Amino acid sequence: MATIIDMPKLSDTMTVGTVANWLKNEGATIESGDVIAEIETDKATMELEAFEEGVLLKQIAATGAQVPVGSPIAAIGEAGESVEIEASPAPADESEEKVEPDSEPTKESADSDSSHPPAPASTESDPAKPSSERIKASPLARKLAAQQGIDLVQISGSGPNGRIVKKDLEGAAVTRGTAPASAGSGAGIAKAEEVPLSQMRAIIAERLQESKREAPHFYLESEIDVGGLLELRKQLNAELAELTPEEGGVKLSVNDFILKAATEALRRVPAMNRSWARTSIKQHSSVDIAFGVAIEDGLLTPVIKNADAKSLKTIAVEAKALIAKARSKKLSPNEMSGSTFTVTNLGMYGVSVFYGIINTPNAGILSVGATFARPVVRESGNIEVGQIMKIGLSCDHRVVDGAVGAEYIQALKKILEHPALIFL
């Protein structure tokens, strides 16, 4: 009897998965452990392994289909064995559309709604050229084509039986330019394009809205002179550049220093290393620090586990590996969960100061801005050029009070302005 493979739950928050790509075709011989497909979740693209041996009898879910967790996506069994489950032909954002009939409506169906009289006869001069009304296309594709002024007659469909689906319009939309204004709407008025929400973008929106709604944020800001840190980084990178990766060579970024310093500050102010648990507050014994990585679909926050027990160089190596995985959507659920604090850095974009939304249930998120050269007055009274970085701290007032947040910023400032403390 055929074994049905269901959509697995690949992350704690996953409710549906998208079949990004089939790596095994129907009829292929499958061995236990073979990767048969790539599944896109709300966080990453994961490999789907088969744990049964046999033949891939059916790809129940088509490439691009969104499938709820626990619903069937494939069947494996013996060659020639029949599978009764219907395939899912609909791509991700068209999974609930109904396939339009190829034939014209009957007279009974046309007469049943007198408010919609029959369309006038086609005036097309070329009888061999089909009209847009007779082209096989999904309802969503028709709607988008009408909004963007695209002639479906010119489009080749990639769906079942040559049916035009949404993705077939993407190239046409790029070359077509601005959609023509409809009659009477005013010449030259362009229509806004509707961009469908990706799974990741929808989850990000839901979580950020929940954080702002449930976690009472308050904000603290400080300026830090990181001239000494930049000089130390320069010296260390000069030494490390002479080593191969196998010998421990690595290029340290400013963000590596910030992650290490933020970790050390949490060790010094453990009241900031807490999380909200609704009926209690969790005091974490280790620092599991998350950091933001921007990707095309949004933002991922990989986690460096037990960062308080790791050196600056180890944190740098792990951070680089996690960034590479994040950008290729290869992060595992474990690599994105269990954080106790989060760091987000927009300094590379020239942003001077900002305040991130808390990555709940963390008690806070550290926002790091760019470094600018600016005159500063030293304790001696001398005016010198300082390398000033502004940081913002967003705190959950349910977990910490202003004094705790201030103590944390004070500890972080001391470490960053005296970076040798990182190595203690």
Q: What is the pLDDT of residue 202?
A: 82
**Per-residue pLDDT, 404:** 98
Residue 44 — pLDDT band, cuts 50, 70, 90? confident
pLDDT tens track for 92-107: 444 434 444 433 344 3
Min mean pLDDT across 97-106, 198-207, 303-312, 335-344 is at 97-106
| Measured distance between the N- and C-terminal CA atoms of the chain, rounded to whole angstroms | 63
User: Residue 108, exposed/middle/buried by CB under 10 A (0-12, 13-18, 19+)?
Assistant: exposed
CA-wise closest residue to 217 among 7, 359, 100, 29 = 359
Structure tokens at 383: 């005016």
Angstrom distance (rounded) from CA 253 to CA 327: 18
Q: How far is the C-alpha of 109 from the C-alpha of 187, rounded, in Å?
A: 38
For residue 15, what pLDDT band results from cuts at 50, 70 and 90?
Answer: confident
In this structure, whether the domain defined by 3-88 belongs to CATH 3.40.50.150 is answered with no
* 3-state SS assignment for residue 364: strand
What is the predicted pLDDT for the residue at 247?
81
How would you class 81 by CB atoms within 10 Å of its CB: exposed for 0-12, middle for 13-18, buried for 19 or more?
A: middle
Question: 315 near 259, Cβ under 8 Å?
Answer: yes
Alpha-carbon dihedral angle through residues 42, 334, 271, 212, given to the nearest 10 degrees: 0
Tokens of 342: 């989060």
pLDDT band with cut points at 50, 70 and 90 for residue 172: low
Which residues make Cβ contacts (< 8 Å) with residue 47, sequence separation at least 6? 35, 37, 38, 39
Per residue in 209-239, pLDDT (tens digit) is 999 999 999 999 999 999 999 999 999 999 9
* Residue 134 banded pLDDT, cuts 50, 70, 90: low
Closest residue by Cα to residue 88 from 119, 110, 59, 68: 59
- Indicate the pTM of the whole model: 0.65
Of the candidate ranges 73-82, 121-130, 282-291, 309-318, the one whose mean pLDDT is the lowest: 121-130
Task: Say which CATH class 200-423 falls into.
Answer: alpha beta
Residue 129 has pLDDT above 70, yes or no: no
Q: Is the pLDDT of residue 196 over 90?
A: no
Rounded CA gap, 343 and 302, in Å? Answer: 11
Mean pLDDT of 182-199: 67
Quote the percentage of the chain above a pLDDT of 70: 82
pLDDT band at 50 (very low <50, low <70, confident <90, very high): confident
Position 161 confidence tier, pLDDT thresholds 50, 70, 90? low
Report the alpha-carbon distance of residue 162 to residue 144 in Å, rounded: 18
Cβ atoms within 10 Å, residue 356: 24
Q: Three-class SS of residue 416?
A: helix
Catalytic residues: 397
Average pLDDT, the chain: 82
**333-377 confidence digits (pLDDT tens):** 899 999 999 999 999 999 999 999 999 999 999 999 999 999 999
Q: What percent of the chain has pLDDT over 90?
A: 46
Confidence of residue 277 (pLDDT cuts 50, 70, 90): very high
Quick one: pLDDT at residue 356? 96
Quote the CA–CA distance of 303 and 223 in Å, as a whole number.
26
pLDDT at 36 over 70: yes
- pLDDT confidence band for 78 (50 / 70 / 90): confident
Which residue's structure tokens are 């603290």? 220
- Domain coordinates in residue numbering, the chain: 3-88, 200-423
Tokens of 402: 């202003």
Cα(63)–Cα(230) distance, rounded to whole angstroms?
Answer: 48
Q: What's residue 362's pLDDT? A: 97
Listed range (16-30, 33-47, 163-177, 261-275) with the worst mean pLDDT: 163-177
